[in-house]
Chain A
Amino acid sequence: MRVIGPWDLGGFDPTKSGAMFSRLQIAETLIESDNAGTPLPGLATGWTTSPDGLVWTFRLRPAVLFHDGSTLNAAHTAWALRRAMEPPATLSLAPVADITSQGDDMVIIRLTKPFAPLLHLLSHTSTQIWAPAAFGPNGDVRNVIASGPYRLTRFEPPLRMDTAFFAGHRGGPRSVKGSAYMTVSRMETRTLIAEGRQADLIYSIDAPSARHILADSRNQIIAAQMPRTLILKVNSGNPKLADLRVRRAISLAIDRQGIASGILLDPSLAAGQLFPPMLQGWHDPDLPPLGRNVEQAGDLLSQAGWLREGDGIRRRDDQSLHITLKTYSDRAELPVLAAALQEQLRLVGIAVEVQINNSSDIPLSHRDKTVELALVARNYANFVDPTISVIQDFGRGGGDFGATGWVNRPVEQAIDDLLTHGDPDGRRRRGIAQVLQAELPVIPISWYMERVALSDRVAGGVSFDPYERTLRIADVRLAGGRS
């Protein structure tokens, strides 16, 4: 089966660039998760927590075979997880004291303080468990030997990797006997490949291209909402943006419906609040949605002292309301969206200068506090449970893709409580979502849709992992027994 996606192949190391090995189902993690984010058994079949929440014990699945025929054991698993703790790998986000093994099939993780989302970190691709023979004596990676239903047969970074079915996997036979993945970074080329049905699964198709592709009735597109929100990151420490009235005015100036139906071609994507409906527990259906009201936006700006001048741009004292908006072109819709926002803000008297650069400039300008507005596509489920992203974005000091210069003690307290005690009745999460809606440390614009184009050789079984961990190739059914 031929698979095309925009994802570059990095190196061999699972802690650094393991994502593609998970996507093509070469490697597995201790924990898996379903679409709702509920942890499911992976290489671990069960787990228990001590009453104080500090000791987690995992029981490993028996008789798991690696691609070289060796078997999964507890001592090696503990070693692999300790290796995945080295910053900036994901496991370093948890307050881990140590990771040890007990017997052949128990792995024990001790924490220095309770950390409710630990299970979700163990489903992250950077915590894949590879075979002992994959590593050299210094822990350096020599080969890709893991335990997934497919094994690696060819690896040519940054463009090409192939897999073949691994008969020793517990799942039994699959319709897809192997896949050939190719990176195609240009949206135009991906669209043309899809139009010509020259591959079986083509990922990351934007809305206008999808229309094109569907013009031929033999083509199919499957779309799903993803836990990603297009937001305006706001520097609330900036003198112009510190005033809540200015942030609210910006939010009121934005025509979310227009953007969703005109640019993203799907009116249901207009983000009335930060968290999309699929993030249950975080999305609050009772929250009054953010909407557009140009008149009210103008009044708020006037109240904040920004008055319209002859050229239509507002001024206060000697300063005019010029704001820079940074964004990047990794996602085709962002520059277009930035231009739309520029025009919508101009209508209320804010002059926006759009700067299109690399996505990494946003964390950089967060660190040196030079950012004013930044348009980003934020994934709230990098670690399945949005809690970790919320800590990163709205906890102390704000976040690279979250708040800048925004301090809110109740939210910080709620986050601490959430980590220590969880949130059985959903009150803490709803509380945080309400504050974010009222204070606008980031301004939500739209939610996000992911699309995959299918060739007519695919008979069914294609589904999206909203957490972008796996392409679920093993579930795909091909027509006519072709692989």
Chain B
Amino acid sequence: MKLAPILLRRLIQAVLVALVISTLAFFLMRSLPGDMAFRVAAGRYGPDMVSVAAAEAVRAELGLGRPMLEALGIWLGRLASFDLGVSFVNGGSVAAQLGHELGYTLRLACAAAVAAFIIAVPVGVAAGSRPGGLMDRGSLVVSVILRSVPPFLMGLVLIIVFSLQLQWLPSAGYENRGSDILPALTLGLGLAGPMSRIVREAVFQVRSQPFHLFARTKGLGARAVMLRHTLRNAAVPVVAYSGTQLALLIEGVVVVESLFSWPGIGHALVHAIFARDVPMIQGAILVMSLGYVALNALIDIAVRVIDPRVEEPA
């Protein structure tokens, strides 16, 4: 099992992604309607204090009047030296703020992924073991609903049920006992919906293979077949598929963090876009896209570990 080629390929991919995403983000920022200096001034001084004078002071201080290509050159040059710059709004180092926020986002994303696995694997296995059964049909309906409900609505429903009605968990924030649970569950349920169907499909496929029948015929118990053969073989497509689900996670983080006032990168990104805090936006997008590449690399490795037979195409 050679990991070096995988990592090398992903590293090259990471550099290309950084370059393309940064340039794209730069042009998207410039093409947004409205005057950047006014937006930055609103973020900095508050909406009541925005004035032409404040905007002009911001424009002069930040050099927003520079030609576009010159500004792009400066940004890419800084990126090459791993300098993400300072926030337009609060003057703090972007790298330090993103580092802080990344920790919270990873915490939330891991909790969501764990929640998704805990829900999806048993449901999918049960459904795949008896295709067409009550569990299979029931979980299909539920998974379609979970995938279709927008995270914002899902979050509100969970808050109303678990925080207001039952008073078990806090509605927002990040420091109280249990404050991770609702945001993680909001994201996790969205992921669990489609994931349970993949598990179901994989289990169904494995169970219809000759080796599965052979294992049963040679006298292995149902439990041993499940643990030794079904789960391991079914895990390959499930793990590979979770890579594509990460995109869903990144998208969900933006909404869920805002709703729950969770201090992660998604929240910071929304915040920075409103205030046209360009260095923060670029930094956040960069970290998110590199995170996507890194997680995909991890999944490549995981797939290799589970199924060492998979070889690189020549």
On A, residues with C-beta under 8 Å from B are: 7-13, 16-17, 19, 87-88, 156-160, 182-186, 188-189, 192-193, 195-196, 198, 328, 330, 357-361, 363-364, 366-367, 379, 382, 392, 399-400
Partner of B261, one of A13, A88, A184, A357: A184
Q: Which residue on A lies nearest to B90, using beta carbons?
A: A11
Near A by CB (< 8 A), chain B positions 41-84 give 41-55, 57
In the assembled complex, B156 has its CB within 8 A of some CB on chain A: yes
Measured between alpha carbons, how far is A192 from B160 in the docked complex, in Å?
8
Measured between alpha carbons, how far is A443 from B34 in the docked complex, in Å?
25
How many residue pairs between the two chains, A and B, have CB atoms under 8 Å in the bound complex? 130
Contact A189 B44 (CB under 8 A): no
With A88-B57, A156-B100 in contact, do A360 and B261 touch (Cβ < 8 Å)? no
- B271 contact set on A, CB distance < 8 A: 8, 158, 185
Contact B89 A88 (CB under 8 A): no
In the assembled complex, B226 has its CB within 8 A of some CB on chain A: no
Q: Which residue on B lies nearest to A381, using beta carbons?
A: B48
- B53 contact set on A, CB distance < 8 A: 87-88
Measured between alpha carbons, how far is A392 from B48 in the docked complex, in Å?
12
B38 to chain A, nearest CB (A): 4
- A189 contact set on B, CB distance < 8 A: 159, 171-172, 259-261
Contact B274 A195 (CB under 8 A): no
Measured between alpha carbons, how far is A427 from B203 in the docked complex, in Å?
86
Contact A358 B171 (CB under 8 A): no
Which one of A19, A182, A192, A379 has the highest number of Cβ atoms from chain B below 10 Å of its Cβ? A192
Measured between alpha carbons, how far is A8 from B90 in the docked complex, in Å?
11
Q: Which residue on B lies nearest to A328, using beta carbons?
A: B47
- A87 contact set on B, CB distance < 8 A: 53, 57
Measured between alpha carbons, how far is A8 from B159 in the docked complex, in Å?
23
In the assembled complex, B39 has its CB within 8 A of some CB on chain A: yes
Contact A182 B261 (CB under 8 A): yes
Measured between alpha carbons, how far is A87 from B59 in the docked complex, in Å?
13
How many B residues have CB within 8 A of the partner chain? 48
Measured between alpha carbons, how far is A88 from B55 in the docked complex, in Å?
9
- B52 contact set on A, CB distance < 8 A: 363, 366-367, 400
Contact B163 A192 (CB under 8 A): yes
Contact B48 A400 (CB under 8 A): no
With A8-B43, A360-B39 in contact, do A188 and B50 touch (Cβ < 8 Å)? no
Measured between alpha carbons, how far is A87 from B33 in the docked complex, in Å?
26
With A157-B92, A189-B172 in contact, do A361 and B261 touch (Cβ < 8 Å)? no
- A186 contact set on B, CB distance < 8 A: 258-259, 261
A358 to chain B, nearest CB (A): 6
- A357 contact set on B, CB distance < 8 A: 33-34
A55 to chain B, nearest CB (A): 26
With A88-B45, A188-B156 in contact, do A363 and B261 touch (Cβ < 8 Å)? no
Q: Which residue on B lies nearest to A392, using beta carbons?
A: B51
Measured between alpha carbons, how far is A16 from B97 in the docked complex, in Å?
19
A24 to chain B, nearest CB (A): 15
Partner of A88, one of B54, B91, B167: B54
30 contacts between A and B (CB under 8 A): A7-B46, A8-B43, A10-B89, A11-B89, A11-B90, A13-B91, A17-B46, A19-B46, A87-B57, A156-B100, A182-B172, A184-B172, A185-B258, A186-B258, A189-B260, A189-B261, A192-B172, A193-B172, A195-B164, A196-B170, A198-B170, A198-B172, A198-B173, A357-B34, A360-B41, A361-B38, A363-B51, A363-B52, A367-B52, A400-B50
Contact B50 A360 (CB under 8 A): yes
